[in-house]
Amino acid sequence: MEQDCRIFIIVEDKWGKEFIKRLLIRLRKYNPKKFKIQSSKGRDKLLSPRLKKALNDAFYNNKYNKAIVFVDLHGEDKEVLLANLKELVGEYINRTTFIIFEHEIEEWIVYSMDLKYSSKPSDALNKYLKMMRGVKKGYKKNKLPGFADRIKIDKLKKQETFKKFLDALDCD
């Protein structure tokens, strides 16, 4: 990564923010002077004009070079979502990378752990934690950051959205 490269990252919630931060630490890329990770405090707020306002602030007031936006698709139409995102970010489209999960960010975890799922990856994690680990309450979103410390990064490097994320971390 270039010395003066600064990347603004937007995620849907506070758990995703901490998950991405811990993942960057594991990748040996985290530097608070180069990265800002912000929670949009919900998908609805992320998919609103607030996104463009946040990007404007990042690019012009804080001098970030590029942005990465994480969005959970939750089974919706990807092309429709992508069109909406492109419209929302407007002139920032060439400086913004969208990491879109078919369902949710937990896809990276279940891929890394070779878990299968039929509806949502978080359901697979819930079942795994209850059955295999003896955890009574199963998976809750607040457990997401801890999985950043346990996932198999070498395996994850084969997953498409993770590869896109790694590519987006470079400012070349």
Q: What are the angstrom distances between the C-alpha of 119 and each of 6, 71, 122, 123, 160?
A: 36, 17, 9, 7, 19
70-125 pLDDT per residue, tens? 999 988 999 999 999 999 999 999 999 999 999 999 999 999 999 998 889 999 99
pTM: predicted TM-score of the whole model, two decimal places? 0.92
14-63 pLDDT per residue, tens? 999 999 999 999 998 888 788 999 999 888 889 999 999 999 999 999 99
- What single letter denotes the amino acid at residue 128? Y
Domains present along the chain, CATH in parentheses? 7-105+153-168 (3.40.50)
Tokens encoding 124: 């697979």
CA separation for the pair 57, 31 (Å, rounded): 20
